[in-house]
Structure 1
Amino acid sequence: MRLHYKGTYNLDPASLPRAPRRSRAVQFREVRDTKALSLIANGLCVLILILLAAPAFQRCQGTFNTGQMIAGCFLPMAVLLPHELLHAVCFREDVYLYTNLRQGMLFVIGTEDMSKSRFIFMSLLPNLVFGLTPYIIGMALPNLATAMFGAICTGMGAGDYYNIFNTLTQVPKGGRVYNHGFNSYWYLPK
């Protein structure tokens, strides 16, 4: 994997890396720009946070510590870049990192073909490491700061869950997935 930091995304989809079009490739039925994706992802993020935070507060009632709680709520901002780097390590070739803080996103794009399962794993990996695992640990111990860190990090992966949903519902078994600019495509190899 070769990571290329491209800086702030200029909101022009034509400026994003594009894989060559594959014959018989089908474009995902997905949003067409980052503004629409940001609305979906931020709404889903809030929903996930509410669904995970409510049980965490109930389970971890006696563990409330103001300092730990502040850390649990603000530490997720420190893992924004590591989250994207975990996506990036799933690529074998060039991968490009962009920031789009105005719309609340960082993202990576790689143009190589991936199997359906590898694309899902790439989309899910940072959410397992920074989200679900700390949430489960925080609920098991119980520790509200750890549970809230996990809940917030799980919610931050909302755009990834959107990609996973599209992949699971649109890509047939044996399909290959690749990015072409802002959009994802799938095809069945010969």
Structure 2
Amino acid sequence: MKLHYRGKYDLDPNSLPVAEEKEGAIQFEEAASTQELAKKANIAAFILLILLLIPIVMLHRLKADSFAFWIGCLLSLFCALPHELLHALCFKEDVYLYTNLRQGMLFVIGTEPMSKGRFIFLSLLPNLVFGLVPYLLGLIYPSLSLLLGLGWSSLAMGTGDYINVYHALKQMPKGALTYMSGFHSYWFMPEQK
């Protein structure tokens, strides 16, 4: 994997890396722009925050003055770059890192083809490391409220990744490969040998 930092994304999809089109490739039915994706992801994040707060309140009776919990939430912001680096590590070839802080996003794009399983793993890995594991540990062990805050906030920040997983699971048939090109993802059936 070779990481290239491309700086601030200018909202022009033509400025993103483009893959060589694969024969028979089908574009995912997904958001048409980063603005549309950000809107959907932010709504989903808000709903997820509420749903994930229910077990916290039921198990821990969390109070607004739980300092460590709120520090954990703040730490999730500092995990945004490591989150993207974990995505990047799942690529074998060139991967490009962009920032889009106006819409609350950092993202990576790589154009290499990969299996549905690898794409799902790539999408979920940072959410497991910074989100689910700390969240569950914090629920199990009340003294780890810092991790609970980190996990709670990080899980919600990963909604764009969950949207990608949903599209892959819903749209890709068994044996299909996927790749990113520009702002969109595509799937295709590899040639049988």
Q: Structures share a fold, TM > 0.5? A: yes
Taking structure 1 as the reference length, what is the TM-score of the superposition? 0.96
C-alpha spacing 1:32/1:64, structure 2 compared with 1 (3 Å): closer
Contact 1:56-1:144 within 8 A present in 2 as well: no
Is 1:83 the counterpart of 2:83? The answer is yes
Amino acid at match of 1:175: A
Counterpart position of 2:101:
101
Task: Work out whether residues 71 and 149 of structure 2, in 8 Å CA contact, stay in contact via their aligned partners in 1.
Answer: no
In structure 2, distance between residues paired with 1:144 and 1:64? 12
The SS at the match of 1:32 is: coil
Q: Between the two proteins, what is the percent identity of the paired residues?
A: 52
Residues matched between the structures, number: 190
Partners of 1:63 and 1:144 within 8 A in 2: no
Q: Secondary structure of 2:90's match? A: coil
> C-alpha root-mean-square deviation of aligned residues, in Å?
1.3
**5+ residue gaps in structure 1?**
none
Unaligned runs of 5+ residues in structure 2 are none
Question: TM-score, length-normalised on structure 2?
Answer: 0.95
Is 1:112 the equivalent of 2:112?
A: yes
Q: Classify the secondary structure of the residue corresponding to 1:30.
A: coil
Deviation at 1:149, TM superposition (A): 1.4
Q: How does 1:25-174 map to 2 (within 5 A)?
A: 25-61=25-61, 66-142=66-142, 143-174=144-175
1:97 match: secondary structure: strand
Which runs of structure 1 show a deviation greater than 6 angstroms over 4 or more consecutive aligned residues?
A: none
1:7 is aligned to 2:10: no
**Partner SS for 2:187:** strand
- Please tell me the residue identity of whatever aligns with 2:173: P
Distance across 2 between alignment mates of 1:155 and 1:70: 15
Counterparts of 2:62 and 2:168, CA distance in 1: 41
CA distance in 2, matches of 1:30, 1:36: 9
